[in-house]
Amino acid sequence: MQQKLALIAIVVDDYDLAIAFYTQKMNFQLVEDTALTDTKRWVVVGPKGDGGCNLLLAKAATDEQAGRVGNQTGGRVFLFLHTDNLDRDYQYFTGNGISFVRPPTEEPFGKVAVFKDLYGNLWDLVEPKQQKPILQ
């Protein structure tokens, strides 16, 4: 059996604001933006050059879903973004107004910093100590 994780859905309140944040502030690429109905789109973004798991930006359609925007994991780190150069990406992100709740630190597994996306979801930015190719 061969499987891979392809998409993670993240609940957003506005497609275009979410696209702008991930593509302009985090330098992700817009993989797909297809209108499904007058109010629903299939929007996928992901790290450039990654070829792995991407984010499906899912616009909240109910009050219950809207209540999850920015708090999909109850305040825990939600997503983990690996990089080959944490210092470079930390400078890029902070220069683009991304708020870090924990500055870079050295951990047994490598360097890590924690930031918030536009909704308040927490992300770990990680430069693994033992550099394995990010592209697999």
Quote the pLDDT of residue 3. 85
Segments making up each domain of the chain, as ranges: 7-128
Quote the pLDDT of residue 4. 86
> How many C-beta neighbours within 10 Å does residue 6 have?
10
What are the tokens at 27? 């330098």
pLDDT at 132 over 60: no
DSSP 45-91: EEETTT-S-EEEEEE--SHHHHTTTT-TTTTSEEEEEE-S-HHHHHH
Question: The pTM is what?
Answer: 0.89
With contact defined as beta carbons under 8 Å apart, do 82 and 136 qualify? no
- Mean pLDDT, residues 29-41: 96
Distance CA 97, CA 20 (A): 13
Whole-number average pLDDT of the chain = 93
Distance CA 121, CA 118 (A): 8
Superfamily of domain 7-128: 2,3-Dihydroxybiphenyl 1,2-Dioxygenase, domain 1 (3.10.180.10)
Q: Tens digits of per-residue pLDDT, 63-100?
A: 999 999 998 888 899 999 999 999 999 999 999 999 99
